[in-house]
Structure formats: C-alpha cells, structure tokens
C-alpha cells in the first residue's frame, strides 16, 4: 500500500496529487489518500471513474477522509 | 464489405483533440460536438489557484449545503472522456502580475490567461500525440477575451495557430487545419456569436445535458470586484506584486480590516471560516476573545504593542462582548501568548477606509 498525505490541501489539489502519484504506479497497486477537504469524497471517486481506477473504500474519521484506490489497467 | 472499409477508414484516421474543460456549458458542448464527429477527445483543466471551482466549498459553513461537485470532472464524466487536471499555480503568477494585454474590469487578465492556457494545451498535445486543440470560445461571449479581434491573437500568441478549433463559432472564423484536412466537417460546426446563451441552451437540450454549471460571475475569482480590491491591497501593503497560494486562499475568507498600512486583520465571519483559519495559527499572530465568545482573527503584517491593543479593540467589536465595558483578548505569536483587556471599538470608530 502506497500512502499519499494531502491533508490541508484544498480541492482540486488532492485530486491533482492523486493523479500525479497514480501515473507512477502499476495496475493493481493500491494507494491510500488521506485528506482534510471533504470535497475529495466526491472529486476523487469522480476522477477515478473517468480514468479507469477503482475506489475500494472511502471513509471519514474525525474530520479526515481516507480513500483507498486500486490503480486500473 | 463496404462497412468494413468504413470502419478501417475511421480506425486509420481517427484524430485526437485535447479540449480545454472549464466546467462550464460552452466547453462541455464544444467537446461533445467533436465527439459527435468521431474525434477522440480528452479534456484538460488548469488550476490557477483562483478557480471558483474546488476548495471554496470547504471553507464557509453556509456553502456546505451546496453540492460539492467539481464541474470539470462532472463535464468529463458526462462526456465519457478522460480529464487531466494540471497545477499551474506557479507559472500563472507571471500571467497575473505582468499581463501583456492588461486587465479587464477587475484584476482579470482574461486574454493573457486564455493565450497561456491554449499554449499549455498545445505543449500537452505535442507531448501526448494529439492533433489539435478545442475550446468553447464564442465570438462576443466575453467582453475581454472572446471578441472577433482576439480570436486570431489567441491562436497566434499561444503558438497553436490553425490547430486551434472553436467548434461553437467555427463557421464565423477562417478554416482551421482540422477543417481543411477533413478531420472534422465544418458544415457540422456552429456559428454562435454574441452574449446570448440561447443557442448553447438549445444545443445542450439536443444533447440531453441538464444540470450543467452556470456560474454567474464566470469561473475565476479575479473577475470579482471585492476579491480584486483585496489583492490590490495585499500588493500595495507589501510593496511588491507577488503572492503565495496561502495569500490567495486567505483573500477568500473573513472580514479584512486594515487599520494601519503595516498590518491587516482577517476576522472569521462564521464557524466554517473559524475552522479554516485555525490551520494558519502557526504562521500568523492570532487574536481570540477570552471573556466572551468571538471569532478567530489572524494578524497579517507587523504590529507594535500599541497596534496589538488597537487590533484587540477591533476584534472585541466583532465578539459577543461588543457592548461590554471590557473584553479580554489573547494574542498569540509563535506559541507565546499575552492578554489585553480592552474596551471594544464603537461602530463609528471603525473607519470605513479600514475595510478592505
């Protein structure tokens, strides 16, 4: 599992950081993104749907948002 | 046999266009028109830091009831195309600070901005093997950047030249390379012009698009008068035209009051802004009323003891102790706190000229 900490960044920066990190990863690998902007709960899944990746889990814990993404082919 | 030949022809000649996707209706339609002609389209969206899209919904509590979608992503999903979001915050500084073609009604360098973005899209297209660039521009739609005279300026100065196609108004413009080469059919492009939105709305209906974004003031904070005044004040106070991303974020938040040229107060207006400003406590002097409920305040600049007393009086004015004889205010800098007991300023003691 690769970790990406984008806490304090506001959308769309977490999406951009996620996009740039995924470019360096292989299909099937998993990325966990940790954020504080609630906008990621819409934006990252939308970006993943468009670009062929899968959000495995998305949860909020104490005002932080954590998404696990499986990189698509 | 004939069908197979056609398929082979399409397979052999399908061209690739990169579409500037802002999240608004025009770019959505321009991309859709190209998809209808069998062109492979991918979207590109640039983040300048001034985009109304994005982070603003995360700040004010009152905005939390609104949908939190990013309209560029929404557009791409509607179109079924990929979207590449590019961070241009650093490069964009030069566009804003030194616009060759000047500003619009506020601090909006719209023409330079469009030239810059089309130029970046051209670079991206070359790096990724795309044939041409499309935008949702319409002649006469915007007073600064979308005029008949500016269309060729954008094409030339961006370097895109005749690889820049505007599907919504192409029939009002000279033929571009994609049209001449038959990559797209000019007869199936459009001749929209002027500020009316009716043709776009009719085309949206034809394509089955509803619920598309219609931002009243465009998609950029720089077209907003109040925001532009704050940016100008920031530059004047620093004696230089420069900014960091935190500066431009903070211009969107709170009441800005500058009682002296060398410092400004950013006073939260509600709970969401209070929470947002918490994230800046380590970078700024902060003020908080202790004897009464009140907003978190950042002090941007340098302040003497006398300045801090004045700042405390102003902050007290915006607390629940506004009518009290005395309010305790805690001032914290780099983890060290001191307290001031002050009488809140009366409304008429806050000079109108202090409000940025």
The string of DSSP codes covering B51-106 is BSSSGGGGT-GGGGGS----HHHHHHHHHT--EEEEE-HHHHHHHHHS-TT---SS
Smallest CA-to-CA distance from B243 within B94, B62, B69, B59 is with B94
In this structure, what token pair is assigned to residue A45?
Answer: 């899944």
Closest chain A residue to B44, measured at CA: A16
As beta bridge partners, residue B142 has: B146
CATH number of the CATH domain containing A52: 3.30.110.40
Average pLDDT, chain A: 94
Per-residue pLDDT reduced to its tens digit, A17-33: 999 999 999 999 999 99
The token pair at B242 is 């420069």
Contacts B53 to A, Cβ<8 Å? 11-12
Q: Which is nearest to B28 in space by CA: B50, B46, B45?
A: B45
Block residue for tokens 């640039």: B46
Count of CB atoms situated within 10 Å of the CB of B158: 21
Q: Please give the angle made by the CA atoms of B339, B249 and A18, to the nearest 5 degrees.
A: 120
**pLDDT at site B211:** 84
Side by side, the strands of the sheet bearing A54-61 are A2-6, A30-35, A64-70, A54-61
pLDDT of residue A37: 86
CA angle (B128, B131, B137) in 5-degree steps: 105
User: Which residue in A15, A19, A38 is closest to B58 by CB distance?
Assistant: A38
- Here the ipTM equals 0.93
Strand order in the sheet with B83-87: B83-87, B40-47, B16-20, B132-134, B164-165
Q: Can you count the helices (H) and strands (E) in chain B?
A: 12, 11
Q: B55 and A11: CB-CB below 8 Å?
A: yes
Intra-chain end-to-end CA distance of chain A, in Å: 17
Chain B contacts of A64, Cβ < 8 Å?
Answer: none
Catalytic residue list contains A11: yes
Q: How many domains does chain A have?
A: 1
**Residue B223 in contact with residue B104, Cβ under 8 Å?**
yes
Please list the residues that pair with B16 across neighbouring strands: B40
Locate B161 and state its tokens.
Answer: 């030249």
Residues B24, B266: Cα–Cα separation, whole Å: 32
The 3-class secondary structure across A36-69, one letter per residue, is: CCCCHHHHHHHHHHHHCCEEEEEEEECCEEEEEE
Per-residue pLDDT at B323: 95
CA A25 to chain centre: 13
Residue ranges per domain, chain B?
Answer: 2-221, 253-354
Cβ–Cβ below 8 Å for A12 and B85: yes
Hunting for tokens 């948002």 — which residue is that? A65
Task: Please give the radius of gyration of chain B, using alpha carbons only, rounded to the nearest integer.
Answer: 25
Give A24's DSSP letter. Answer: T
Residue of B nearest to A17 (CA): B87
Name the residue range of residue A25's domain.
2-70
The burial of B142, by beta-carbon neighbours within 10 Å (0-12 exposed, 13-18 middle, 19 or more buried), is given as buried
**Mean pLDDT in runs of 10 for chain B (356 residues)?**
51 86 94 98 95 62 63 94 96 95 92 96 98 96 82 97 98 97 97 91 95 71 91 93 90 94 95 88 95 97 96 98 97 95 95 94
Which residues, at least 6 apart from B12, have a Cβ–Cβ distance to it below 8 Å? none
Q: Which one of the listed residues A2, A9, A11, A25 is annotated catalytic?
A: A11
Alpha carbons within 13 A on the beta-carbon side of B60:
12
Collapse the DSSP code of B157 into the 3-class scheme (helix H, G, I; strand E, B; otherwise coil) and give the result: helix
Q: What is the pLDDT at residue B179? A: 97
Q: Residue B347: which of B320, B318, B321 has the closest Cα?
A: B318
Q: Are B155 and B164 in contact (CB under 8 A)?
A: yes
- Would you state the structure tokens that stand for residue B215, as one six-digit string? 């931002």
The pLDDT value given to residue B271? 87
For helices B110-128 and B150-158, the axis angle rounded to 10 degrees is 40
Partners of residue A12 in chain B, C-beta under 8 Å: 45, 47, 51, 53-55, 70, 72, 85
Q: Classify B2-221 by CATH class.
A: alpha beta
């Amino acid at each position: 599992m690769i970790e990406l900490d984008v806490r304090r960044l506001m959308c769309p920066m977490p999406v951009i950081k996620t996009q740039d990190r995924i470019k360096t990863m292989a299909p099937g690998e998993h990325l966990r993104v940790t954020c504080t902007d609630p906008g990621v709960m819409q934006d990252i899944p939308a970006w993943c749907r468009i670009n062929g990746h899968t959000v495995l889990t998305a949860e909020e814990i104490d005002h932080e948002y954590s998404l696990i993404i499986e990189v698509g082919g | 046999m004939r069908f197979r030949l056609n398929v082979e022809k399409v397979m052999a000649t399908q061209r690739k266009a990169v579409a500037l996707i802002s999240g608004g209706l025009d770019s959505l339609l321009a991309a859709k028109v190209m998809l209808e002609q069998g062109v492979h389209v991918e979207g590109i969206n640039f983040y300048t830091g001034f985009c109304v899209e994005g982070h603003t919904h995360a700040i004010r509590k009152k905005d939390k009831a609104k949908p939190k979608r990013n309209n560029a992503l929404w557009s791409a999903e509607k179109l079924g195309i990929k979207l590449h979001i590019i961070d241009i915050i650093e490069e964009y500084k030069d566009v804003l600070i030194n616009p060759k073609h000047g500003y619009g009604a506020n601090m909006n360098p719209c023409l330079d901005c469009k030239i810059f973005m089309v130029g970046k899209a051209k670079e991206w297209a070359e790096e990724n093997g795309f044939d041409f660039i499309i935008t949702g521009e319409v002649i006469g739609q915007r007073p600064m950047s979308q005029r008949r005279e500016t269309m060729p300026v954008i094409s030339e100065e961006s370097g895109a030249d005749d690889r820049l196609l505007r599907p919504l108004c192409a029939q009002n413009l000279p033929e571009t390379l994609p049209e001449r080469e038959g990559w797209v059919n000019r007869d199936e492009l459009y001749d929209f012009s002027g500020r009316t939105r009716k043709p776009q709305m009719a085309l949206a209906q034809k394509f089955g698009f509803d619920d598309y974004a219609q931002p009243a003031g465009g998609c950029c904070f720089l077209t907003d008068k109040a925001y532009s005044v704050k940016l100008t004040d920031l530059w004047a106070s620093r004696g230089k035209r420069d900014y960091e991303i935190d500066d431009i974020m903070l211009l969107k938040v709170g009441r800005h009051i500058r009682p002296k040229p060398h410092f400004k107060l950013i006073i939260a207006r509600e709970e969401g802004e209070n929470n947002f400003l918490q994230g800046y406590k380590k970078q700024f002097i902060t003020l908080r009323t202790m004897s009464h409920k009140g907003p978190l305040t950042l002090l941007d600049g340098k302040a003497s003891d006398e300045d801090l007393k004045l700042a405390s009086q102003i902050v007290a004015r915006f607390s629940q102790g506004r009518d009290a004889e005395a309010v305790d205010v805690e001032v914290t800098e780099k983890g060290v706190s001191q307290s001031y007991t002050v009488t809140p300023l009366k409304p008429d003691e806050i000079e109108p000229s202090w409000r940025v």
